[in-house]
Amino acid sequence: MKLTQGCFSFLPDLTDEQITKQIQYALNKSWALSIEYTDDPHPRNNYWEMWGLPLFDMKDPAAVLFEINMCKKAKPNFYVKCVAFDNTRGTESAVLSFIVQRPAYEPGFRLSRQEVQGRNLVYTLEAYSVSAKPEGERY
């Protein structure tokens, strides 16, 4: 099971050419880009580590791709994503994000359901990385 966060998560991993096209799209919209990485991809973990500074006023997609590749090289077992921000409304709002690298092993998450008072259901995400059972023996 692979992590599905951001755009294109259900598709096969993007090639450098496809990443460059997405970067060019963001640059054409005058969006600022940043590169982020984490080893904790929990859906509620909104704060990934930032690789360097945000790439404000960047015009060349090759320069952004270079920074992405440097991050991927330095963090080979981490998730790496590219995030585009739109500041036209006076706030920095993420308008596009996509994963550009995944670790070789993705443990994934399990959705646990619990019935509580009043027959209400409560859902919790649990990381498989804390489970002792290997993939294929979890159910």
Give CA–CA dist 79/3, Å, rounded. 9
Per-residue exposure over 2-13, b if at least 16 CB sit within 10 Å of its own CB, e if not: ebeeeebeeeee
Mean pLDDT of 33-48: 84
Q: In the chain, what are the domain boundaries?
A: 16-101, 107-139
Q: What architecture is domain 16-101?
A: 2-Layer Sandwich (3.30)
How many residues belong to the chain? 139
Query: What is the C-alpha to C-alpha distance for residues 40 and 127, in angstroms, rounded to an integer?
Result: 10
Q: pLDDT at residue 132 above 80? A: no
pTM: 0.76
pLDDT tens profile 78-109: 999 999 999 887 777 889 999 999 988 776 76
Q: What is the pLDDT of residues 10-39, one digit of tens each?
A: 888 899 999 999 999 999 999 999 999 988
Using one digit for the tens of pLDDT, what is the confidence trace for 117-129?
Answer: 888 888 877 766 6
What pLDDT is attached to residue 47? 82
Mean pLDDT on 63-69: 96
Q: What's the rounded Cα separation, in Å, for the pair 41 and 116?
A: 28
Give the phi and the psi of residue 60 in degrees, each rounded to 5: -105, 115
| Per-residue pLDDT at 130 | 63
| Exposure letters 96-105 (e unless 16+ CB within 10 A, then b) | bbbbbbbeee
In this predicted structure, the answer to whether residue 134 has a pLDDT above a threshold of 70 is no
CA 16 vs. chain centroid, Å, equals 16
